[in-house]
A and B are shown apart, each in its own frame.
Chain A
Amino acid sequence: MIRTVKIVKHQGKQFIRDLQNVNLPDIHTGMPVISANPCKAGCSDCMDMCPVQAINKEPVSIDLGRCVFCRECIICPEHIITFSNHYKIASNDTSLLMVTSETSAISFNPNFVRKEIKRVFGSSLKLRLVSDGSCNGCELELNAADNVNFDMSRYGVEFVASPRHADGVVVTGPLVENSVKALEHTYEAVPHPKILIAVGACAISGGIFSDSKALNRSFFAKHKPDLYIPGCPPHPLTIIDGILKMMSKVS
């Protein structure tokens, strides 16, 4: 008994009290910052370097739905692309994930916010995960979002064991042919109204696997996600922030 008390005492308080204002280490690769300076004439180093074709020029932009946050594009000789440690990068609209020199923060598209989400799920949200070709990176971070440090369930958001108990489906991975039926069945099994969330570069765009013949992304042609959480994998703080915004718990 005394040993248990000691363990509890030494454990202390592990949870992060205010998840909205965490200062992650500077080196955390979060929101890209693109300067308005002109590119060097004829240079396309960043585009050539990018492993997932997330960068476009004129103007320079990074698509966070594709980006795997490898940070290699900082090779830019004019230092036009840098990364901040800012972790609030989820949105409900893929076009808002396109970062240019004019983007100061990733926002939500008010036209895409379904009113029933706040009304029905505003104070409690149960989610069912479907991993569909994912590498287990996003799963580890989704698990971490509910561990003793991040404690997402304080907001009433939890993962449940059955789609019948769930209010929505979280999808990770690039969506592969072999799992396409399982995903469709799971989504169908969730009662209406329901939520769909895409987590990670693979789910949003196919990521590094986007040109693989093993994929079948027809599911997302039929069902539009209510939330896109970029990252490879997304940090638990990014996941929690995105979900809270979707529930209109924070703005």
Chain B
Amino acid sequence: MNFKVLENNSAIPVQQLPELSYDIFCEEVLSLLKKDQCHCLNYYAFPVPGGLKFVCCIADDHEKKIVAGSFVKNSNDLTALKSLTAKYYGMHVFEREIHEQYGVGFEGHPWLKPVRFPFDKKDDASHIGNYPFYGMESHELHEVGVGPIHAGIIEPGHFRFICNGEKVLHLEIHLGYQHRGVESLMLKKQRILEQTILAESIAGDTVAGHNTAFVHAMEALAGMTVPENTQIARTIASELERMAMHTADLSALCTDVAYQLGSAVLQGLRTIIINTFMIWCGNRFARKLIRCGYEPYPLNDELITRIRQNLDAYEKRYTEVVNKMFDMPSVLARFDSTGYVSREQSRLIGTVGMAARTTGIARDLRQSHPYSYYKLLDHKPVVLESGDVKARALLRDMEIMQSLDYIRKMLGHYKADQSNNKIQSVSLNPSMFVVSLTEGWRGEICHCAITDDAGKLMHYKIKDPSLHNWFALALAVRNNDISDFPVCNKSFNLSYCGYDL
């Protein structure tokens, strides 16, 4: 093996990241991705003196390791690279991203469609407004354009359907409307608090997920460790966030199939969970709660009791309404077999998180690359096979029950007197590389960071699970009635801003 083996959140000197020729690099990547237990976490490029450095990180779920390697493309070498996508389709979005940002050609890539139209893209002529959509010429087909501004209180994105009658033949998803330049700001801002606030704002519905990934990366780069208590608190926050968002999604699914009572009750239940964050840290979305090297809001006995009371109140009403929901023919008729993604498709495009787990793929970083307190929880991922809206709804229900169990266990292990709530100064070690993985409620979050020889962040790469999973939504709606698009969309509930960055 030519690649370096490393672990989640373990920083290595950047020199240890092997630098290979492109041919050997490709050979290595493809031989790894052939194995069922491997998938690509991140593949990105960034400028170095004299050229572009490409880094690829691959997860090996059985070995519980990450393997990483790199190569450098000289800036005066203008030849196109042989596309990895041509051999392994899951690489498509990474190569598109590199092409869009730096103009690198990929020979054999089926479609180098722009990813997000970033402000620093290579091709100045390419603009979000003048993009030529994929089209099909036929008298029998028609196109439906939706967005960028949608009919609800949600983020912007454009969906272009090609339909045959009521059936969707093809959906093209056109994003980038939320692009704020998060990755470049991460380097521009060099103070840890500024960067933390930024990490909390990558996706405002996954504050704990993204911020934990960021904080772990920084702690690893600085060589800091936090007490077990702090790890428990962070893990509780992640699981509460999962419960809150899964509940919100179940409520939204009820709305879309016109089960009004379920929708209303679940809305109120989500409030209980996010108000638990409120009494803990003063913000309903776990902002302020996770900080680098310390625990600003340690739990105390009174808080633990109140959290337990909230969970009990939640569980009783939740079980009642969800059991009813999954018994209702009017709900099941809309969920069953709608928006189907096959296991093969899912594996081919590299879906992660919930979307993967509903197609029979047991991909869950809490089990395969455990971090924080998950190391001691012995997590067993919930895996369903049917790949439809029903599976994605049921999976949420089962994960909520799992989260309830974990949070209660962790509250029992939390020792109120062992936390450190003093602000820590953070100084990063020079020339280090780290991969930080967390399993947010949508799925796999991957942050990769490199420091320069002065200990400043030199490159920061963020990957939200939505980067992979939007394509799963496009496949899910094929051959479905276009009127089922909303329920399919809600069943994935993907992030626009996490994708656009």
Do the beta carbons of A3 and B320 come within 8 Å of each other? yes
- Chain B residue nearest to A131 (CB atoms) is B155
User: With A75-B423, A147-B268 given, is the CB distance from A212 to B178 under 8 Å?
Assistant: no
The chain A residue sitting closest to B185, CB to CB, is A212
Complex Cα spacing A181 to B147, Å? 12
**Chain B residues, CB < 8 A from A6:** 320
Distance from B281 Cβ to chain A, minimum over Cβ atoms (Å): 7
Enumerate chain A residues within 8 angstroms of B320, measured Cβ to Cβ. 3, 6-7, 10
Are the CB atoms of A69 and B283 closer together than 8 Å?
yes
How far, in whole Å, are A24 and B284 apart by their CA atoms in the complex?
12
Pairwise interchain contact A148-B156, C-beta atoms closer than 8 A: no
Within 8 A of B (CB), among A2-24: 3-4, 6-8, 10-11, 14, 24
In the complex, how many angstroms separate the beta carbon of B164 from the nearest chain A beta carbon? Answer: 26
Known contacts A4-B324, A209-B180, A212-B181; decide if A11 and B271 are in contact (CB<8 Å).
no
- Say whether A120 faces chain B, with CB atoms less than 8 Å apart: no
Check: B267 CB closer than 8 A to any chain A CB.
yes
Are B495 and A136 in contact (CB-based, < 8 A)?
Answer: yes
A28 to B285, CA, bound (A): 12
Instruction: Please state if B197 and A70 are interface contacts (CB–CB under 8 Å).
Output: yes
In the assembled complex, which residues on chain A have CB atoms less than 8 Å from the CB atom of B401? none
- CB atoms of B155 and A27 under 8 A apart: no
Docked complex: A212-231 residues within 8 A CB-CB of B: 212-215
Stretch of B96-104, B188-196, B337-345, B413-421 lying at the A interface:
B188-196
For window 195-244 of B, CB contacts with A under 8 Å fall at 196-198, 201-205, 207
Tell which of A29, A131, A161, A233 has the most Cβ of chain B within 10 Å: A131
Given the interface pairs A6-B320, A137-B201, A232-B287, the reply to whether A213 lies near B495 with Cβ below 8 Å is no
Q: Are A133 and B180 in contact (CB under 8 A)?
A: yes
Q: How far is the CB of A51 from chain B (nearest CB, A)?
A: 4
Whether A108 is near chain B, meaning CB under 8 Å from some CB there, is no
The residue of chain A having its C-beta at the shortest distance from the C-beta of B129 within the complex is: A181
Residue of B nearest to A210 (CB): B185
Q: A143-B153, A147-B271 are in contact. Are A10 and B178 (CB under 8 A)?
A: no
In the complex, A171→B347 CA distance in Å? 39
Interface contact B288-A161, CB-CB below 8 Å: no
User: Bound complex: CA of A180 vs CA of B401, how far in Å?
Assistant: 42
Q: Say whether B324 contacts A29, CB under 8 Å.
A: no
Cα A213 to Cα B184 with chains together (Å): 9
Does the CB pair B180–A212 fall under 8 Å? yes
Tell me if B151 and A137 are in contact (CB < 8 A). no
- Cross-chain contact B152 with A213 (CB below 8 angstroms): no
Known: A134-B155, A161-B152. A209 touches B181 (CB 8 A): yes
- Give the interface size bracket for A toward B: 35 or more
Which among A14, A159, A177, A235 has the highest number of chain B CB atoms within 10 Å?
Answer: A177
A182 and B264 CA atoms in complex are apart in Å by 32
User: In angstroms, how far is the closest chain A Cβ from the Cβ of B366?
Assistant: 23
Given contacts A130-B149, A136-B155, A174-B180, contact A148 B194 (CB under 8 A): no
A214 touches B181 (CB 8 A): yes
| CB of B377, distance to nearest CB on chain A (Å) | 27
Q: B179's contact among A128, A147, A178, A232, by CB below 8 Å, is which?
A: A178
Residues of B within 8 A of A58 (CB): none
Q: Is the CB of A144 within 8 A of B497?
A: no
Assess whether A105 is interfacial by the CB under 8 Å rule. Answer: no
Chain A hits for B287, CB < 8 A: 69-70, 137, 232
> How far apart are the CA atoms of A182 and B284 in the complex, in Å?
30
The reply to whether the CB of A36 lies closer than 8 angstroms to some CB of chain B is: no
A51 and B152 contacting across the interface, CB-CB below 8 Å:
no
Cα-based distance from A11 to B314 in the complex (angstroms): 11
Does A93 have its Cβ within 8 Å of any Cβ on chain B?
Answer: no
| Interface flag for A104 (CB, 8 Å) | no
CB distance A11 to B265 under 8 Å?
yes
Residues A186 and B149 in contact, CB atoms below 8 Å apart: yes
A11: B residues at CB distance < 8 A? 264-265, 268, 317
B interface with A by C-beta (< 8 Å): 117-120, 128-129, 148-149, 151-156, 176-182, 184-185, 188-189, 191, 193-194, 196-198, 201-205, 207, 248, 261, 264-265, 267-268, 271, 278-285, 287-288, 316-317, 320-321, 324, 423, 495-497, 500
Which 3 pairs show the lowest CB-CB distances between chains A and B? A137-B204, A135-B204, A161-B151
Q: A27-B278, A214-B118 are in contact. List 7 more A-B contacts (CB 8 A).
A: A7-B261, A28-B278, A130-B156, A148-B264, A148-B265, A176-B177, A177-B179
Can you report 17 residue pairs joining A to B where beta carbons are below 8 Å apart?
A4-B324, A7-B321, A27-B279, A27-B282, A68-B197, A131-B154, A133-B497, A135-B202, A137-B287, A139-B204, A148-B267, A178-B128, A182-B148, A182-B177, A186-B149, A208-B201, A214-B179
Binding site for B on A (CB under 8 A): 3-4, 6-8, 10-11, 14, 24-25, 27-29, 49, 51-52, 68-72, 75, 128-144, 147-149, 159, 161-163, 173-174, 176-179, 181-182, 186, 202, 207-209, 211-215, 232-233, 235
